[in-house]
Every structure is written in structure tokens, then in C-alpha cells.
Amino acid sequence: MIENCDFYGVHPIGTRARPTEESRLKLEALFQQPQMLPAMPRVVQQLVASLASEAAHSDDLVPLIGSDPVLSAELLRLANSAYFQRSSPVGSVHQALQQLGFVNVRALVIRIGLMTRFVNVPGHLLKPFWQHSVHTAMAARHWAARLDVNPELAYLLGLLHAIGQLLMRIRLPDAMLELDLKMSANDPRRQLLEQQVLGFSTAQVGAELLQRWQFPALFSQVIAGASVSVEPAAQPLAALITLAAWQAWVTDAAPDDAQIEASWPELLAQQVGVLHTQAGRNFPPWDELCSTIDRLTD
């Protein structure tokens, strides 16, 4: 079990590095010159906020998405993809909503908005990042019912869990490449290594970025949960996302049996209600878990 071994050579993943005053100052330095930070479209902020609203309705999405021509155009491009084999083209956001459904359109636009914020990250780094993020999101959605969590919310949190890594690649490209030589960016050990070398982790950067994007406070709490303690109400969700990221790493990186066994996050799995026999190499193939949004943006 992770909590009882030093497999990583740093700290067991069961421990969470608490930010010190020094690390806080280093983190603040990363966010200097806020005008250089990627800006999140207002429509994405509003769509994320609507996840927490029971009153959110498809009629509200049309003017929201229509107010952003770039996101509207990309949505229509995807709605007209060969995947649907339509005889006539989709020509409006309203038609796209009718074809794809409220949940899929909201998730698609949020995902498009996120992906277009970091196009200046080199492609050979961006592609594996999004693959890992999408697989984490799919695993989180798959296990969401165990915590009685909205699967759409779990999916989005999984998609966002490592968003801080992209900002670090923009602001600290040389340092990140040096870390890459020591350890894969998606390895469960990586955030503790970042904390030791840089003074902060991907999770801390991501949580701060989501705050500056004015996402709901829960998002920052859950994302920060990968490296620091969070409020008790957010802890189960943080456990779900961390476990999902572990699963994405196991499936994509194909570590050996000893590494899987040594890195199995037992306490997190207990919080989520996932057994060892339901994860790792026993996890369903990604193709079986794909939804419409996963296939469209693959």
C-alpha cells in the first residue's frame, strides 16, 4: 500500500505536503504579471457555475454559447462531424443542442474552452497531457456514483486536475523539462517531486489558477487536495480525482505489477468505495467508457 512504503523515494503519496511560507511566496511569484496568464472565456466560467444550479436549462445555453463566436464555431464543427452521419448540416447552436443534448454541449464547450487556452504549449507535450486528463475524467465519471456525485462534475474535475501543469510549462519550461527527465509528468510521484524541487506542485498551481478564473470554490479545494489538506466536505471528491488520475497513469503508462501494487492508494480507494479488484489492470477499457464528448474531441 502507498501509505506503508517508500516506493517513490520521496514521500508516500498518502502524505500530503503542506504549503510553507516559502512555498507560498514561490507560488505567488509564479503568478506575477497576471496579464500573462491564460484568460478563461466568460461563457466557460458561467457554464461551470451552472453545474451547481438545479435551475440550469438548455434554453440558457444558446445565448451564452452564441456570445462567443470562437466556441460557437468549434461546437458547430464538432456537431457536423462524420460521427453523426447527418444528411443536412447543423447550422446553429440551438440545433447543436437538439442533436447533442444539454449535458454534452455544456461539457463540450467547457472542454473546448480549456483546450484552446494553452495552444502555445508544444504539441508533443500537450497531446499526452490531454490524453491523461481525459482518461482521468472518464475514470472519475465511471466511479462518481460511488460517492453519489454528479458524473458531469466528476468528469470536469478530472479534466482539470492537472491544469496547473500547463501553466508551469509556460512559465517554467526549462525546470519542467528537467523534471521530465527524472520522472513522467503523469506519474503519481511527480507532484511530490515538484514540491521538493520547485517549492510547489501542479495541484497548488492549478488550484490558484482556478481561483483566478473565478471557478466555484469547490474546484480549487478538490484540485488542491492532491498535495494539501482540504475541507472535509471536499475530501471525498479529492480522493475520487486522485484515484482516477492513478488509474489513468496505470492504464496509459503500463507500469509493472510491483509498481502497481506499491502505488495502490488504499486509503483513497476506501473513501471512494473502490476495491483493488475493480482498478488497475482490472479497470474497463477506455473504449467501453467513451461518451459522445470523448469521441468527438479525441
pLDDT band per the 50, 70, 90 thresholds, residue 298 = low
Helices within the chain (DSSP H only): 21-30, 42-50, 58-66, 69-79, 93-100, 102-115, 123-143, 151-160, 163-171, 173-182, 190-198, 202-212, 217-224, 235-253, 257-263, 266-272, 286-289, 292-296
Cell 501553466 belongs to: 167
CA dihedral sign, ordered 221, 21, 171, 173: negative
Decide if 206 contacts 223 (C-beta within 8 A): yes
Phi-psi label, residue 99: left if phi above 0, alpha if psi -120 to 50, beta otherwise: alpha
Give the amino acid at 33: Q
Domain boundaries defined on the chain: 2-36+121-296, 37-119
Q: How far apart are CA 288 and CA 284, in angstroms?
A: 7
Q: In the predicted model, what is the mean pLDDT of residues 179-199?
A: 93
Q: How far apart are CA 152 and CA 107, in angstroms?
A: 7
pLDDT band per the 50, 70, 90 thresholds, residue 185 = very high
Cell 505536503 belongs to: 17
Residue 95: partners with Cβ closer than 8 Å, 6 or more residues away? 79
pLDDT band per the 50, 70, 90 thresholds, residue 51 = confident
Distances (CA, A) of 262 to 138, 188, 265: 24, 11, 9
Written out in words, the top-level CATH class of the domain with range 2-36+121-296 is mainly alpha
For residue 163, the model assigns a pLDDT of 95
In the chain the first and final C-alpha atoms are separated, in Å, by: 34
Cell 479534466 belongs to: 159
Q: Residues of the chain with pLDDT > 90: what percent? A: 48
Neighbours of 65 (CB within 10 A): 26
Q: For 55-94, write each residue's pLDDT tens digit.
A: 667 777 888 888 899 889 988 988 888 777 777 888 998 8
CA nearest to 58, candidates 113, 95, 110 = 95
Cell 440550469 belongs to: 56
Distances (CA, A) of 186 to 147, 197, 244, 260: 25, 16, 12, 14
C-alpha cell, 60: 440558457
Decide if 238 contacts 222 (C-beta within 8 A): yes
Distances (CA, A) of 50 to 40, 61, 101, 110, 218: 16, 10, 15, 11, 13
pLDDT band per the 50, 70, 90 thresholds, residue 291 = confident
pTM of the predicted structure, to 2 decimals: 0.86
Q: For 120-140, write each residue's pLDDT tens digit.
A: 899 999 999 999 999 999 999
Helices within 161-213 (DSSP H only): 163-171, 173-182, 190-198, 202-212
Distances (CA, A) of 29 to 106, 195, 203, 205: 34, 15, 16, 11
CA-based radius of gyration for the chain: 19
